[in-house]
């Protein structure tokens, strides 16, 4: 298994297959509780995030973002079997590649 795999990196059809497989093999995980149209919505909001990040002068290096959380989150950890977390000093990141959901204008929450 590779680190930082992202379901947004595959086609919507492939993502649906992956999510269906997860749901059948691991029905108690958060991934198994997806909603109809999840990938379409995810791509839609990722497009909005990418646009807003570019407006701020962000340095986009990937088509689909990797999501990270500041600090360990037991709630998020409960979504996955055998979850783990890592600690990386913020100074190790190129700040021009980081975007917080807190930077999204509130008007975007009403879209779609």
Give residue 43's pLDDT. 92
In a domain, 89, yes or no: yes
* For range 43-53, the mean pLDDT: 88
Overall number of domains in the chain: 1
Work out the pLDDT band at 9, boundaries 50, 70, 90. Answer: very high
Question: Is 2 part of a structural domain of the chain?
Answer: no
Would you state the pLDDT for residue 13? 93
Residue 21 falls inside a structural domain: yes
Residue 1 lies in a domain: no
pLDDT recorded at residue 104:
60
Range(s) of the domain holding residue 54: 7-110
Residue 26 counted as domain residue = yes
> Would you state the pLDDT for residue 107?
46
Q: What mean pLDDT value characterizes the chain?
A: 81
| Cβ-defined contacts of 75-82 (< 8 Å, 24+) | 78/30, 79/29, 79/30, 79/31, 80/29, 80/30, 80/31, 81/26, 81/29
């Amino acid at each position: 298994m590779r680190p930082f795999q992202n379901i947004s990196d595959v086609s919507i059809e492939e993502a649906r297959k992956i999510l269906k497989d997860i749901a059948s093999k691991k029905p108690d995980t958060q991934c198994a509780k997806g909603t109809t149209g999840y990938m379409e919505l995810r791509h839609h909001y990722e497009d909005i995030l990418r646009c807003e990040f570019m407006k701020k002068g962000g340095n986009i290096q990937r088509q689909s973002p990797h999501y990270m959380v500041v600090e360990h989150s037991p709630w998020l950890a409960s979504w996955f079997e055998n979850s783990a977390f890592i600690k990386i000093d913020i100074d190790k990141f190129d700040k021009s590649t980081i975007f917080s959901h807190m930077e999204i204008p509130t008007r975007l929450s009403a879209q779609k």
